[in-house]
Amino acid sequence: MYSAVDAHPLQRMLRLKMLRLLENPFEDFADGRYFIPTPQLARIYQEVRQRWFGQEKGLVLIDGERGSGKSAFARFLAGGHLPSPLAVATAPRTPNRMLKLINDELGLPRVKEEENRRRRLLEFLERQYAGIVVDQDPHKLIPAQGQLIATLAERTTVVVTGYEIFNYPWENWGVGNVVRYLLDPWDYDTLVFVLDEISRRAGRTATPLFTPEAMERVYMLSQGNPRKTLAVCKNAVETLLQGEGATVEAWMLEETPVQI
């Protein structure tokens, strides 16, 4: 057991770990497991992985309001351990940039010309299946990018995350198999689950770090927006680190400006 002398250093260590998890709740832990924060994301994750394991072809669109966790989920998908290669392109502005990011992750020989990058990627996909994730936030797709994604979706399942990506003319770009997922804001029960799970991962199991009143205020301030929720909680834990309190109280929570 820990003595009273040891309590404060232990509390500080747990709170610092809590801050790290609030920065990135999709972190890969040493035991190989992943923290899947909501039932909706867990379901989408399993369905996408099944498509990749089954070597299916087509397009998976993941849309949602700003701050709903699309980019974080793209990183989470990219961290999955698959028997086949997996490539991620983050915020590409042009088709050539998208090809560079994908080809580099697949270890293809480097070339500068878009035509050669496209040819090498398509030749690779003819020989070997590879999952592809394109996180388009914060940029909007240009038609040439959409047409490139459509071409790749004829050979593999391409996951695209971004804001308002449902509105693009995917069928006109030649995509016949399109699956759409809209990320929902967290309801109160999901918010409680996420914070409890983060606390547990940080090593706090005896008592909740957030009081019930604090949980209610977090939800009131964030309205279930994941990015706002994590920002409000992060500020509260930083406040806790500066004082002697053992739990986050409602009065410690205030609205936190975040870039949505």
Q: Which of 132, 155, 182 is the last residue of a domain?
A: 182
Instruction: Tell me, yes or no, whether 258 lies in a domain.
Output: no
Task: For residue 21, report the phi and psi dihedrals to the nearest 5 degrees.
Answer: -70, -30
Q: Is residue 2 part of a domain?
A: no
Contact 161, 73 (CB under 8 A): yes
Confidence band for 131, pLDDT divided at 50, 70 and 90: very high
- Examine the domain organization and report whether 66 and 146 are in the same domain: yes
User: How do residues 195-243 score in pLDDT, each as one tens digit?
Assistant: 888 888 777 767 778 889 999 999 999 999 999 998 999 888 888 888 7
157's tokens: 């399942």
**What are the pLDDT digits (tens) for 47-104?**
999 999 999 999 999 999 988 889 888 888 877 656 678 888 999 999 999 999 999 9
Instruction: Please report whether residue 156 resides in a domain.
Output: yes
Question: Of 23-37, 118-132, 241-255, which range is least confident?
Answer: 23-37
Domain span at residue 233? Answer: 7-33+186-252
- The sheet with strand 157-161 has its strands ordered as 86-90, 131-135, 157-161, 58-63, 178-182
How many C-beta atoms lie closer than 10 Å to residue 113's C-beta?
10
Question: 137 in a domain, yes or no?
Answer: yes
For residue 205, the model assigns a pLDDT of 65
Percent of the chain predicted with pLDDT > 90:
50
The count of domains in the chain is 2
Q: State whether 129 and 193 are in the same domain.
A: no
Question: What pLDDT, in 10s, does the model give residues 137-165?
Answer: 888 999 999 999 999 999 999 999 999 99
Instruction: For residues 164 and 193, state if they share a domain.
Output: no
Q: Copy the structure tokens of residue 145.
A: 């990018």
- Residues 120 and 108 sit within 8 Å (Cβ to Cβ): yes
Task: Please check whether residues 73 and 95 belong to one and the same domain.
Answer: yes
| Residues 240 and 177 placed together within one structural domain of the fold | no
Domain with residue 156: its CATH number is: 3.40.50.300
